[in-house]
Chain A
Amino acid sequence: MSSMDLRLDTSGDYYARKFQPTKREDTLILNMGPQHPSTHGVLRILLEIEGEYILRADPVLGYVHRMHEKMGEVMSYPQYYPNPPRTDYLHALAWNWAHVAAVERLMGIEVPERAEYIRVITCELNRITSHLLWWGAYLLDLGAFTPIMYSFDDRERIQDILQRITGSRLTYCYYRFGGVSDDIDDRFVEDTRRHCAVMKERFKMFKSLVTDNFILRKRVEEIGEIPLETCRKYGATGPVLRGSGKAYDVRRAEPYSVYDRFDFNIPAYDTCDAMGRYLVRMDEMQESIKIIEQALDTLPEGDYIHPKAPKRPKPPVGDIYFALEGARGKIGIHLVSDGGKSPYRIKLRAPGYSNLSLFSEVAQGTLISDAVSILGSLDLVIPEIDR
Protein backbone atom coordinates (compact mmCIF):
# COMPACT_ATOMS: atom_id res chain seq x y z
CA MET A 1 0.00 0.00 0.00
CA SER A 2 3.02 2.25 -0.16
CA SER A 3 2.00 3.61 -3.52
CA MET A 4 -1.37 4.85 -2.23
CA ASP A 5 -2.15 8.26 -3.59
CA LEU A 6 -3.05 10.45 -0.67
CA ARG A 7 -3.92 13.51 -2.69
CA LEU A 8 -7.51 14.62 -2.46
CA ASP A 9 -9.62 13.30 -5.27
CA THR A 10 -11.21 16.41 -6.75
CA SER A 11 -12.62 14.94 -9.90
CA GLY A 12 -16.00 14.36 -8.30
CA ASP A 13 -18.44 11.58 -8.95
CA TYR A 14 -20.12 10.63 -12.19
CA TYR A 15 -22.58 13.51 -12.17
CA ALA A 16 -19.96 16.10 -11.33
CA ARG A 17 -17.66 14.89 -14.09
CA LYS A 18 -20.46 14.83 -16.59
CA PHE A 19 -21.37 18.34 -15.56
CA GLN A 20 -17.80 19.60 -15.59
CA PRO A 21 -16.79 20.30 -19.17
CA THR A 22 -17.20 23.96 -19.93
CA LYS A 23 -15.33 26.49 -21.98
CA ARG A 24 -14.91 28.87 -19.11
CA GLU A 25 -12.21 28.41 -16.57
CA ASP A 26 -13.17 31.09 -14.06
CA THR A 27 -16.31 29.39 -12.79
CA LEU A 28 -16.86 27.13 -9.84
CA ILE A 29 -18.76 23.87 -9.70
CA LEU A 30 -20.68 23.60 -6.48
CA ASN A 31 -22.82 20.89 -4.98
CA MET A 32 -25.94 22.12 -3.29
CA GLY A 33 -27.14 19.13 -1.36
CA PRO A 34 -27.79 16.24 -1.00
CA GLN A 35 -27.51 17.41 2.60
CA HIS A 36 -28.58 20.99 2.36
CA PRO A 37 -31.25 22.58 4.53
CA SER A 38 -33.00 24.28 1.66
CA THR A 39 -33.42 21.16 -0.43
CA HIS A 40 -35.73 19.53 2.14
CA GLY A 41 -34.60 16.01 1.92
CA VAL A 42 -31.94 14.64 -0.26
CA LEU A 43 -32.00 16.60 -3.43
CA ARG A 44 -28.67 17.43 -4.92
CA ILE A 45 -28.19 20.29 -7.29
CA LEU A 46 -25.01 20.80 -9.22
CA LEU A 47 -24.34 24.46 -9.80
CA GLU A 48 -21.88 26.22 -11.99
CA ILE A 49 -21.46 29.61 -10.42
CA GLU A 50 -19.69 32.79 -11.20
CA GLY A 51 -19.50 34.75 -8.01
CA GLU A 52 -23.01 34.64 -6.59
CA TYR A 53 -24.64 34.01 -9.94
CA ILE A 54 -25.75 30.66 -11.24
CA LEU A 55 -24.75 29.90 -14.78
CA ARG A 56 -26.05 26.37 -14.92
CA ALA A 57 -27.97 24.19 -12.54
CA ASP A 58 -28.62 20.50 -12.76
CA PRO A 59 -30.67 18.51 -10.26
CA VAL A 60 -29.37 15.05 -9.44
CA LEU A 61 -32.07 12.69 -8.25
CA GLY A 62 -32.36 9.24 -6.83
CA TYR A 63 -31.03 9.52 -3.30
CA VAL A 64 -34.23 8.22 -1.77
CA HIS A 65 -35.30 5.88 -4.52
CA ARG A 66 -37.19 3.12 -2.75
CA MET A 67 -38.57 1.13 -5.68
CA HIS A 68 -42.18 1.87 -4.89
CA GLU A 69 -43.21 0.99 -8.43
CA LYS A 70 -41.38 -2.31 -8.38
CA MET A 71 -42.83 -3.12 -4.98
CA GLY A 72 -46.27 -2.75 -6.51
CA GLU A 73 -45.51 -5.60 -8.85
CA VAL A 74 -44.64 -8.07 -6.12
CA MET A 75 -47.29 -7.16 -3.56
CA SER A 76 -50.95 -7.97 -3.76
CA TYR A 77 -53.35 -5.07 -4.21
CA PRO A 78 -54.22 -4.58 -0.55
CA GLN A 79 -50.61 -5.01 0.49
CA TYR A 80 -49.72 -2.02 -1.62
CA TYR A 81 -51.97 0.25 0.47
CA PRO A 82 -49.18 1.68 2.66
CA ASN A 83 -46.82 2.40 -0.23
CA PRO A 84 -48.32 5.29 -2.22
CA PRO A 85 -48.88 7.43 0.90
CA ARG A 86 -45.22 7.06 1.68
CA THR A 87 -44.08 8.51 -1.60
CA ASP A 88 -45.45 11.95 -0.85
CA TYR A 89 -45.66 11.93 2.89
CA LEU A 90 -47.06 15.45 3.04
CA HIS A 91 -50.18 14.77 1.04
CA ALA A 92 -50.39 11.10 1.78
CA LEU A 93 -54.13 10.79 1.41
CA ALA A 94 -54.08 12.00 -2.18
CA TRP A 95 -51.69 9.22 -3.12
CA ASN A 96 -53.69 6.74 -1.12
CA TRP A 97 -56.73 7.89 -3.03
CA ALA A 98 -55.05 7.69 -6.42
CA HIS A 99 -54.11 4.06 -5.85
CA VAL A 100 -57.46 3.07 -4.44
CA ALA A 101 -59.44 4.88 -7.12
CA ALA A 102 -57.38 3.39 -9.95
CA VAL A 103 -58.19 -0.11 -8.74
CA GLU A 104 -61.82 0.81 -8.15
CA ARG A 105 -62.21 2.11 -11.67
CA LEU A 106 -60.51 -0.90 -13.20
CA MET A 107 -62.78 -3.29 -11.32
CA GLY A 108 -65.90 -1.15 -11.35
CA ILE A 109 -66.19 -1.09 -7.57
CA GLU A 110 -68.85 1.29 -6.38
CA VAL A 111 -68.02 3.71 -3.63
CA PRO A 112 -70.84 4.75 -1.28
CA GLU A 113 -71.60 8.43 -1.28
CA ARG A 114 -70.70 8.89 2.35
CA ALA A 115 -67.30 7.40 1.72
CA GLU A 116 -66.72 9.84 -1.13
CA TYR A 117 -67.59 12.72 1.16
CA ILE A 118 -65.30 11.42 3.87
CA ARG A 119 -62.55 11.13 1.31
CA VAL A 120 -63.05 14.69 0.14
CA ILE A 121 -63.04 16.05 3.70
CA THR A 122 -59.98 14.16 4.85
CA CYS A 123 -58.08 14.73 1.62
CA GLU A 124 -58.69 18.48 1.82
CA LEU A 125 -57.66 18.56 5.47
CA ASN A 126 -54.50 16.81 4.42
CA ARG A 127 -53.98 19.34 1.65
CA ILE A 128 -54.13 22.12 4.21
CA THR A 129 -51.55 20.42 6.41
CA SER A 130 -49.32 19.97 3.38
CA HIS A 131 -49.58 23.63 2.41
CA LEU A 132 -49.07 24.71 6.00
CA LEU A 133 -45.85 22.78 6.22
CA TRP A 134 -44.72 24.17 2.90
CA TRP A 135 -45.54 27.65 4.13
CA GLY A 136 -43.52 27.28 7.30
CA ALA A 137 -40.59 25.58 5.63
CA TYR A 138 -40.47 28.00 2.74
CA LEU A 139 -40.29 30.95 5.08
CA LEU A 140 -37.66 29.12 7.07
CA ASP A 141 -35.64 28.90 3.85
CA LEU A 142 -36.08 32.59 3.36
CA GLY A 143 -34.85 33.27 6.87
CA ALA A 144 -38.05 33.79 8.85
CA PHE A 145 -38.21 31.45 11.78
CA THR A 146 -41.44 32.28 13.61
CA PRO A 147 -44.03 31.37 10.93
CA ILE A 148 -43.22 27.68 11.05
CA MET A 149 -44.21 27.70 14.72
CA TYR A 150 -47.63 29.08 13.89
CA SER A 151 -48.07 26.74 10.97
CA PHE A 152 -47.12 23.73 13.07
CA ASP A 153 -49.63 24.73 15.70
CA ASP A 154 -52.45 24.53 13.17
CA ARG A 155 -50.99 21.52 11.45
CA GLU A 156 -50.78 19.53 14.64
CA ARG A 157 -54.39 20.29 15.44
CA ILE A 158 -55.50 18.99 12.06
CA GLN A 159 -53.35 15.95 12.57
CA ASP A 160 -55.04 15.36 15.91
CA ILE A 161 -58.37 15.39 14.14
CA LEU A 162 -57.17 13.00 11.47
CA GLN A 163 -55.41 10.74 13.94
CA ARG A 164 -58.63 9.94 15.71
CA ILE A 165 -60.14 8.34 12.65
CA THR A 166 -57.22 7.27 10.50
CA GLY A 167 -54.85 6.14 13.22
CA SER A 168 -51.89 8.01 11.75
CA ARG A 169 -50.55 11.51 11.76
CA LEU A 170 -48.49 11.62 8.62
CA THR A 171 -48.45 8.58 6.37
CA TYR A 172 -52.14 7.89 6.38
CA CYS A 173 -53.36 4.61 5.05
CA TYR A 174 -57.05 5.25 5.37
CA TYR A 175 -58.82 4.64 2.08
CA ARG A 176 -59.78 1.15 1.10
CA PHE A 177 -61.09 -0.28 -2.15
CA GLY A 178 -64.74 0.66 -2.05
CA GLY A 179 -64.62 3.16 0.79
CA VAL A 180 -62.61 4.09 3.83
CA SER A 181 -61.40 1.98 6.73
CA ASP A 182 -63.34 3.70 9.47
CA ASP A 183 -66.39 5.90 9.76
CA ILE A 184 -66.25 9.47 10.97
CA ASP A 185 -68.26 10.43 14.01
CA ASP A 186 -69.91 13.52 15.41
CA ARG A 187 -66.81 14.54 17.27
CA PHE A 188 -64.82 14.54 14.07
CA VAL A 189 -67.41 16.72 12.39
CA GLU A 190 -67.49 19.07 15.35
CA ASP A 191 -63.71 19.30 15.68
CA THR A 192 -63.31 19.91 11.98
CA ARG A 193 -65.92 22.64 11.96
CA ARG A 194 -64.35 24.32 14.94
CA HIS A 195 -60.92 24.14 13.46
CA CYS A 196 -62.09 25.47 10.10
CA ALA A 197 -63.41 28.52 11.91
CA VAL A 198 -60.11 28.95 13.74
CA MET A 199 -58.15 28.59 10.51
CA LYS A 200 -60.09 31.38 8.85
CA GLU A 201 -58.91 33.74 11.56
CA ARG A 202 -55.41 32.41 11.35
CA PHE A 203 -55.22 33.10 7.63
CA LYS A 204 -55.83 36.76 8.37
CA MET A 205 -52.94 36.69 10.81
CA PHE A 206 -50.74 34.87 8.30
CA LYS A 207 -51.55 37.50 5.75
CA SER A 208 -50.62 40.47 7.86
CA LEU A 209 -47.62 38.74 9.41
CA VAL A 210 -46.10 37.28 6.28
CA THR A 211 -47.89 37.84 3.00
CA ASP A 212 -47.91 41.60 3.38
CA ASN A 213 -44.46 41.64 4.87
CA PHE A 214 -42.02 43.88 3.13
CA ILE A 215 -39.06 41.52 3.37
CA LEU A 216 -40.98 38.56 2.04
CA ARG A 217 -42.18 40.55 -0.92
CA LYS A 218 -38.60 41.50 -1.72
CA ARG A 219 -37.61 37.86 -1.65
CA VAL A 220 -40.41 36.48 -3.78
CA GLU A 221 -41.71 39.16 -6.08
CA GLU A 222 -40.27 39.02 -9.57
CA ILE A 223 -38.09 36.10 -8.51
CA GLY A 224 -38.13 32.86 -10.44
CA GLU A 225 -40.46 33.83 -13.22
CA ILE A 226 -41.74 30.74 -14.95
CA PRO A 227 -43.55 31.58 -18.18
CA LEU A 228 -46.58 29.48 -18.97
CA GLU A 229 -44.72 28.13 -21.99
CA THR A 230 -42.03 26.66 -19.73
CA CYS A 231 -44.66 25.06 -17.53
CA ARG A 232 -46.21 23.48 -20.59
CA LYS A 233 -42.88 22.28 -21.87
CA TYR A 234 -42.03 20.45 -18.66
CA GLY A 235 -45.52 19.33 -17.75
CA ALA A 236 -45.63 21.34 -14.55
CA THR A 237 -48.94 21.16 -12.72
CA GLY A 238 -50.49 22.24 -9.47
CA PRO A 239 -49.66 25.55 -7.84
CA VAL A 240 -46.66 25.98 -10.14
CA LEU A 241 -48.89 26.02 -13.20
CA ARG A 242 -51.58 28.06 -11.49
CA GLY A 243 -48.95 30.53 -10.34
CA SER A 244 -48.17 31.02 -14.00
CA GLY A 245 -51.70 32.03 -14.82
CA LYS A 246 -53.37 28.83 -15.97
CA ALA A 247 -56.26 27.84 -13.75
CA TYR A 248 -55.92 24.14 -14.34
CA ASP A 249 -56.96 21.87 -11.52
CA VAL A 250 -57.80 18.22 -11.96
CA ARG A 251 -60.63 18.62 -9.44
CA ARG A 252 -62.29 20.94 -11.91
CA ALA A 253 -60.90 19.80 -15.25
CA GLU A 254 -61.67 16.09 -14.85
CA PRO A 255 -63.91 15.99 -11.79
CA TYR A 256 -63.53 12.80 -9.83
CA SER A 257 -65.41 11.69 -6.75
CA VAL A 258 -67.95 14.32 -5.68
CA TYR A 259 -65.89 17.44 -6.34
CA ASP A 260 -68.35 18.61 -8.96
CA ARG A 261 -70.92 19.19 -6.22
CA PHE A 262 -68.92 21.79 -4.38
CA ASP A 263 -68.51 25.41 -5.10
CA PHE A 264 -64.90 26.49 -4.99
CA ASN A 265 -62.54 28.64 -6.98
CA ILE A 266 -59.33 27.69 -8.68
CA PRO A 267 -56.94 30.44 -7.64
CA ALA A 268 -54.51 31.49 -10.36
CA TYR A 269 -52.07 34.36 -10.58
CA ASP A 270 -50.42 35.42 -13.78
CA THR A 271 -47.40 37.08 -12.21
CA CYS A 272 -45.51 33.82 -12.88
CA ASP A 273 -43.10 34.58 -10.02
CA ALA A 274 -42.57 32.94 -6.65
CA MET A 275 -45.15 35.30 -5.18
CA GLY A 276 -47.74 33.97 -7.59
CA ARG A 277 -47.12 30.42 -6.45
CA TYR A 278 -47.11 31.55 -2.84
CA LEU A 279 -50.47 33.27 -3.20
CA VAL A 280 -51.98 30.31 -5.04
CA ARG A 281 -51.21 28.05 -2.10
CA MET A 282 -52.42 30.55 0.46
CA ASP A 283 -55.71 30.91 -1.43
CA GLU A 284 -55.97 27.19 -1.95
CA MET A 285 -56.01 26.54 1.77
CA GLN A 286 -59.02 28.82 2.08
CA GLU A 287 -60.72 27.09 -0.84
CA SER A 288 -60.08 23.75 0.84
CA ILE A 289 -61.81 25.02 3.95
CA LYS A 290 -64.73 26.08 1.80
CA ILE A 291 -64.93 22.58 0.33
CA ILE A 292 -64.70 20.93 3.75
CA GLU A 293 -67.47 23.08 5.18
CA GLN A 294 -69.75 22.38 2.25
CA ALA A 295 -69.02 18.66 2.49
CA LEU A 296 -69.73 18.63 6.22
CA ASP A 297 -73.02 20.45 5.64
CA THR A 298 -74.20 17.93 3.08
CA LEU A 299 -72.61 14.79 4.53
CA PRO A 300 -74.95 11.94 3.61
CA GLU A 301 -75.73 8.98 5.82
CA GLY A 302 -74.89 5.50 4.71
CA ASP A 303 -72.08 3.00 4.48
CA TYR A 304 -68.52 4.12 4.80
CA ILE A 305 -67.37 1.16 2.77
CA HIS A 306 -69.24 -0.80 0.16
CA PRO A 307 -70.48 -3.95 1.88
CA LYS A 308 -69.51 -6.05 -1.13
CA ALA A 309 -66.11 -4.47 -1.60
CA PRO A 310 -63.61 -7.20 -2.44
CA LYS A 311 -61.04 -7.94 0.25
CA ARG A 312 -58.58 -9.48 -2.16
CA PRO A 313 -59.28 -7.86 -5.49
CA LYS A 314 -58.25 -9.41 -8.77
CA PRO A 315 -58.96 -6.80 -11.42
CA PRO A 316 -59.70 -7.99 -14.93
CA VAL A 317 -57.02 -7.84 -17.60
CA GLY A 318 -56.58 -4.27 -18.72
CA ASP A 319 -55.07 -0.99 -17.79
CA ILE A 320 -56.21 2.25 -16.29
CA TYR A 321 -54.84 5.71 -15.78
CA PHE A 322 -56.26 7.75 -12.97
CA ALA A 323 -55.21 11.27 -12.07
CA LEU A 324 -56.16 13.53 -9.23
CA GLU A 325 -55.07 16.81 -7.78
CA GLY A 326 -52.50 16.58 -5.02
CA ALA A 327 -51.03 19.44 -3.09
CA ARG A 328 -48.15 19.59 -5.54
CA GLY A 329 -50.03 18.96 -8.73
CA LYS A 330 -51.39 16.17 -10.82
CA ILE A 331 -50.84 12.78 -9.29
CA GLY A 332 -51.26 10.00 -11.76
CA ILE A 333 -51.31 6.25 -11.45
CA HIS A 334 -51.10 3.96 -14.42
CA LEU A 335 -52.01 0.47 -13.49
CA VAL A 336 -51.77 -2.55 -15.74
CA SER A 337 -53.41 -5.74 -14.63
CA ASP A 338 -52.89 -9.20 -16.02
CA GLY A 339 -55.73 -10.58 -13.99
CA GLY A 340 -53.51 -11.74 -11.16
CA LYS A 341 -53.56 -10.79 -7.53
CA SER A 342 -50.81 -8.23 -7.93
CA PRO A 343 -50.50 -5.61 -10.67
CA TYR A 344 -48.48 -6.39 -13.75
CA ARG A 345 -47.07 -2.87 -13.72
CA ILE A 346 -47.76 0.21 -11.70
CA LYS A 347 -46.46 3.60 -12.74
CA LEU A 348 -46.67 6.61 -10.49
CA ARG A 349 -46.66 10.10 -11.89
CA ALA A 350 -45.18 12.41 -9.30
CA PRO A 351 -46.01 16.07 -9.92
CA GLY A 352 -42.84 17.17 -8.15
CA TYR A 353 -40.70 15.49 -10.78
CA SER A 354 -42.06 17.66 -13.57
CA ASN A 355 -42.06 20.74 -11.40
CA LEU A 356 -38.42 20.24 -10.49
CA SER A 357 -37.38 19.64 -14.08
CA LEU A 358 -37.96 23.25 -15.01
CA PHE A 359 -35.60 24.43 -12.30
CA SER A 360 -32.50 24.12 -14.52
CA GLU A 361 -33.99 26.53 -16.96
CA VAL A 362 -35.41 28.98 -14.45
CA ALA A 363 -32.33 29.11 -12.22
CA GLN A 364 -30.03 30.26 -15.01
CA GLY A 365 -28.65 33.68 -14.26
CA THR A 366 -30.17 34.01 -10.79
CA LEU A 367 -28.47 34.58 -7.48
CA ILE A 368 -27.92 31.56 -5.26
CA SER A 369 -30.19 33.05 -2.62
CA ASP A 370 -32.91 33.48 -5.23
CA ALA A 371 -32.45 29.89 -6.35
CA VAL A 372 -33.27 28.86 -2.80
CA SER A 373 -36.41 30.92 -3.01
CA ILE A 374 -37.33 29.35 -6.35
CA LEU A 375 -36.72 25.84 -5.07
CA GLY A 376 -38.89 26.52 -2.07
CA SER A 377 -41.65 27.98 -4.18
CA LEU A 378 -41.81 24.75 -6.19
CA ASP A 379 -42.74 22.88 -3.00
CA LEU A 380 -40.68 19.79 -3.60
CA VAL A 381 -41.05 16.56 -1.73
CA ILE A 382 -38.02 14.55 -2.68
CA PRO A 383 -39.26 11.06 -1.75
CA GLU A 384 -42.13 11.63 -4.12
CA ILE A 385 -39.79 12.65 -6.92
CA ASP A 386 -37.46 9.70 -6.39
CA ARG A 387 -40.28 7.29 -5.52
Chain B
Amino acid sequence: MIKTLRETIGGLWSLLVGMKITAINFKSPEITVHYPRQVVPDLEGFRGHIELVPKEDDPFKSKCTACSNCVRICPTSCISMKAAKPKKKEAPAAEAEGSQEPAAKKPKAKPEPVLFELNFNYCSLCGLCVQSCPTNALRFSDDVYLAGFTRQEFVFDLLARLQNQAQKKEQ
Protein backbone atom coordinates (compact mmCIF):
# COMPACT_ATOMS: atom_id res chain seq x y z
CA MET B 1 0.00 0.00 0.00
CA ILE B 2 2.63 2.49 1.09
CA LYS B 3 4.83 1.31 -1.76
CA THR B 4 2.10 1.98 -4.30
CA LEU B 5 1.51 5.41 -2.86
CA ARG B 6 5.19 6.23 -2.96
CA GLU B 7 5.42 5.01 -6.54
CA THR B 8 2.48 7.15 -7.57
CA ILE B 9 3.99 10.23 -5.98
CA GLY B 10 7.36 9.42 -7.52
CA GLY B 11 5.76 9.07 -10.92
CA LEU B 12 3.87 12.32 -10.57
CA TRP B 13 7.01 14.11 -9.50
CA SER B 14 8.89 12.81 -12.57
CA LEU B 15 6.04 14.06 -14.68
CA LEU B 16 6.23 17.52 -13.17
CA VAL B 17 9.99 17.74 -13.59
CA GLY B 18 9.61 16.69 -17.22
CA MET B 19 6.90 19.29 -17.78
CA LYS B 20 9.06 21.99 -16.26
CA ILE B 21 11.99 21.17 -18.55
CA THR B 22 9.69 21.09 -21.54
CA ALA B 23 8.29 24.48 -20.56
CA ILE B 24 11.76 25.98 -20.24
CA ASN B 25 12.73 24.64 -23.64
CA PHE B 26 9.46 25.78 -25.11
CA LYS B 27 10.41 29.35 -24.30
CA SER B 28 14.02 29.05 -25.45
CA PRO B 29 14.91 30.29 -28.94
CA GLU B 30 14.47 28.04 -31.93
CA ILE B 31 17.49 25.93 -32.81
CA THR B 32 16.30 24.28 -35.99
CA VAL B 33 16.78 25.70 -39.46
CA HIS B 34 13.79 25.57 -41.74
CA TYR B 35 15.28 24.36 -44.97
CA PRO B 36 14.64 25.40 -47.78
CA ARG B 37 13.27 28.70 -46.48
CA GLN B 38 16.39 29.13 -44.41
CA VAL B 39 19.85 27.75 -44.89
CA VAL B 40 22.63 27.00 -42.45
CA PRO B 41 24.91 30.01 -42.51
CA ASP B 42 28.27 28.61 -41.45
CA LEU B 43 29.43 25.57 -43.34
CA GLU B 44 33.14 25.97 -42.94
CA GLY B 45 34.96 22.74 -43.51
CA PHE B 46 32.25 21.23 -45.64
CA ARG B 47 33.60 18.95 -48.29
CA GLY B 48 31.81 18.76 -51.59
CA HIS B 49 33.25 16.81 -54.47
CA ILE B 50 36.76 17.75 -55.52
CA GLU B 51 37.43 20.31 -58.22
CA LEU B 52 40.46 21.69 -59.99
CA VAL B 53 42.09 24.89 -58.85
CA PRO B 54 42.80 27.36 -61.66
CA LYS B 55 46.16 28.99 -62.16
CA GLU B 56 46.49 32.42 -60.61
CA ASP B 57 47.28 34.09 -63.91
CA ASP B 58 44.93 32.09 -66.09
CA PRO B 59 41.56 30.95 -64.77
CA PHE B 60 41.04 28.68 -67.77
CA LYS B 61 44.04 26.49 -66.95
CA SER B 62 44.35 24.22 -63.95
CA LYS B 63 47.41 24.04 -61.79
CA CYS B 64 47.55 20.32 -62.36
CA THR B 65 50.83 19.00 -63.70
CA ALA B 66 49.42 15.56 -64.43
CA CYS B 67 51.65 13.77 -61.97
CA SER B 68 48.81 11.31 -61.25
CA ASN B 69 49.52 11.21 -57.53
CA CYS B 70 45.85 11.69 -56.83
CA VAL B 71 44.86 8.94 -59.25
CA ARG B 72 47.15 6.48 -57.54
CA ILE B 73 46.27 7.33 -53.95
CA CYS B 74 42.50 7.36 -54.31
CA PRO B 75 41.21 4.31 -52.43
CA THR B 76 38.27 3.83 -54.75
CA SER B 77 39.86 4.88 -58.04
CA CYS B 78 37.36 7.68 -58.60
CA ILE B 79 39.70 9.86 -60.57
CA SER B 80 40.59 9.18 -64.15
CA MET B 81 43.07 11.41 -65.85
CA LYS B 82 44.73 11.45 -69.22
CA ALA B 83 47.80 13.54 -69.66
CA ALA B 84 49.32 14.92 -72.81
CA LYS B 85 52.09 17.27 -73.62
CA PRO B 86 50.80 20.36 -75.36
CA LYS B 87 51.89 20.32 -78.98
CA LYS B 88 54.62 22.75 -79.81
CA LYS B 89 53.63 23.89 -83.26
CA GLU B 90 49.87 24.08 -83.10
CA ALA B 91 48.73 27.12 -81.27
CA PRO B 92 46.77 26.12 -78.18
CA ALA B 93 43.22 27.27 -77.55
CA ALA B 94 42.75 30.93 -78.27
CA GLU B 95 41.94 32.05 -74.74
CA ALA B 96 44.95 30.37 -73.25
CA GLU B 97 47.45 31.80 -75.68
CA GLY B 98 48.98 34.31 -73.32
CA SER B 99 50.09 31.84 -70.71
CA GLN B 100 50.96 29.13 -73.15
CA GLU B 101 53.59 30.91 -75.14
CA PRO B 102 56.51 30.71 -72.75
CA ALA B 103 55.83 27.02 -72.14
CA ALA B 104 55.61 26.32 -75.85
CA LYS B 105 58.94 27.90 -76.56
CA LYS B 106 60.80 25.55 -74.25
CA PRO B 107 61.87 22.29 -75.82
CA LYS B 108 60.27 20.21 -73.02
CA ALA B 109 56.63 21.13 -72.68
CA LYS B 110 55.09 20.31 -69.33
CA PRO B 111 52.40 17.69 -69.50
CA GLU B 112 48.91 18.78 -68.62
CA PRO B 113 45.67 16.90 -68.24
CA VAL B 114 43.44 16.60 -71.25
CA LEU B 115 40.84 14.61 -69.39
CA PHE B 116 40.13 14.82 -65.70
CA GLU B 117 37.07 12.95 -64.61
CA LEU B 118 35.74 12.28 -61.15
CA ASN B 119 33.31 9.52 -60.42
CA PHE B 120 31.75 11.02 -57.33
CA ASN B 121 29.59 7.93 -56.77
CA TYR B 122 32.54 6.10 -55.25
CA CYS B 123 34.23 8.99 -53.51
CA SER B 124 34.56 8.68 -49.76
CA LEU B 125 35.65 12.32 -49.35
CA CYS B 126 38.71 11.17 -47.50
CA GLY B 127 40.77 14.07 -48.77
CA LEU B 128 43.77 11.97 -49.70
CA CYS B 129 43.85 13.29 -53.25
CA VAL B 130 43.74 16.90 -52.14
CA GLN B 131 46.43 16.34 -49.56
CA SER B 132 48.70 14.38 -51.86
CA CYS B 133 48.72 16.89 -54.70
CA PRO B 134 52.16 18.49 -54.95
CA THR B 135 50.89 21.61 -56.71
CA ASN B 136 47.72 22.11 -54.66
CA ALA B 137 45.70 21.73 -57.80
CA LEU B 138 42.73 20.13 -56.09
CA ARG B 139 40.28 21.46 -53.58
CA PHE B 140 36.86 20.59 -52.26
CA SER B 141 33.89 22.34 -53.77
CA ASP B 142 31.24 23.76 -51.48
CA ASP B 143 27.89 22.96 -53.03
CA VAL B 144 25.99 21.51 -50.10
CA TYR B 145 22.80 21.05 -52.02
CA LEU B 146 24.13 18.82 -54.76
CA ALA B 147 21.52 16.24 -55.68
CA GLY B 148 20.61 14.17 -58.68
CA PHE B 149 18.49 11.34 -59.95
CA THR B 150 20.98 9.19 -61.82
CA ARG B 151 24.46 7.92 -61.22
CA GLN B 152 25.61 9.49 -64.43
CA GLU B 153 25.00 12.95 -63.01
CA PHE B 154 27.75 12.36 -60.51
CA VAL B 155 30.47 11.70 -63.01
CA PHE B 156 32.05 15.10 -63.33
CA ASP B 157 34.31 16.35 -66.04
CA LEU B 158 36.43 18.59 -63.88
CA LEU B 159 38.21 20.33 -66.75
CA ALA B 160 34.87 21.40 -68.21
CA ARG B 161 33.82 22.53 -64.77
CA LEU B 162 36.92 24.67 -64.54
CA GLN B 163 36.13 26.27 -67.90
CA ASN B 164 32.58 26.98 -66.81
CA GLN B 165 33.71 28.55 -63.61
CA ALA B 166 36.23 30.70 -65.43
CA GLN B 167 33.65 31.82 -67.95
CA LYS B 168 31.21 32.71 -65.23
CA LYS B 169 33.87 34.71 -63.49
CA GLU B 170 34.66 36.69 -66.61
CA GLN B 171 31.10 37.69 -67.18
Contact = CB atoms under 8 A, between A and B. Distances in A.
Interface string B14-43: 100110011001000001000000000010
Interface of B: 7, 10-11, 13-14, 17-18, 21-22, 25, 31, 42, 44-47, 73-75, 124-128, 131-132, 140
Contacts of A130: none
Contacts of A166: 45
Interface residues of A, number: 29
Nearest to B15: A214
Contact of A78 (B18, B42, B44, B73): B73
A298 interface: no
A215 B126 contact: no
Contacts of B17: 208-209, 212-213
Nearest to B47: A167
Contact of A82 (B7, B11, B126): B126
Interface of A: 75, 78-83, 86, 146, 150, 153, 160, 163-168, 171, 173, 181, 205, 208-209, 212-215, 311
* Chain A residues touching B, majority SS: helix
Nearest to A153: B31
Contact of A168 (B22, B25, B125): B125
A173 B126 contact: yes
A214 B13 contact: yes
A146 B21 CA distance: 11
A167 B49 CA distance: 12
Q: Which 3 pairs from chain A and chain B are nearest by CB? A: A214-B14, A79-B75, A164-B45
Contacts of A208: 17, 21
Nearest to A215: B14
A82 B124 contact: yes
Contacts of A311: 132
Contacts of A165: 45
B23 to A, nearest CB: 12
A166 B45 CA distance: 7
Contacts of B44: 163-164
Contacts of A160: 42
B127 A146 contact: no
Contact of A205 (B21, B42, B128): B21
27 contacts: A78-B128, A79-B73, A79-B74, A81-B126, A81-B128, A82-B124, A86-B124, A146-B22, A150-B25, A153-B31, A160-B42, A163-B44, A165-B45, A166-B45, A167-B45, A167-B125, A167-B140, A173-B124, A173-B127, A181-B131, A208-B17, A209-B18, A209-B21, A212-B14, A213-B14, A214-B13, A311-B132
